Amino acid sequence: MRKLVTIRIDPNVWRKARELDLNISRTCENALKREIQRIIEAKQKGNYELPSDRKAQLPFLVLRGGFEPPSAAREAAILDRAILPEPSNL
């Protein structure tokens, strides 16, 4: 069974892919498979580092109140419940 996900793509890239009749889902999946394999091989050789864009700290997020007290949200599964602080409060 396949997993339904949402991704953000530059509108110009999306438009060009559609013009070329690319299967965007399959293309993204194949690119992810290649990247996963590259990372696995790099880790096995001991020369893997997180990409520079992943090294940056995530913005501080506060969850809406629920059963647990509000805390910093770091997992994508809970980001849809997150409240971003106003830029003036950072």
17-65 pLDDT per residue, tens: 999 999 999 999 999 999 999 989 988 888 877 666 555 444 555 555 5
In a domain, 37, yes or no: yes
pLDDT score, position 47 = 82
In a domain, 5, yes or no: no
Q: 20 and 37, same structural domain?
A: yes
Q: 61 and 41, same structural domain?
A: no
Q: Which residues are within 8 A (CB) of 82 and not within 5 positions of it... i.e. 6 or more apart?
A: 61, 62, 63, 64, 73
pLDDT score, position 6 = 95
Domain count for the chain, please give it. Answer: 2
pLDDT score, position 20 = 96
For tokens 């997993």, the residue is 3
- What is the pTM assigned to this prediction? 0.51
Q: Residue 76 pLDDT more than 70?
A: no
In a domain, 4, yes or no: no
In a domain, 71, yes or no: yes
Q: 43 and 16, same structural domain?
A: yes
Q: 16 and 43, same structural domain?
A: yes
N- to C-terminal Cα distance for the chain? 42
In a domain, 81, yes or no: yes
pLDDT score, position 46 = 85
- Domain coverage including residue 74: 57-89
In a domain, 6, yes or no: no
Of 70 and 11, more confident: 11
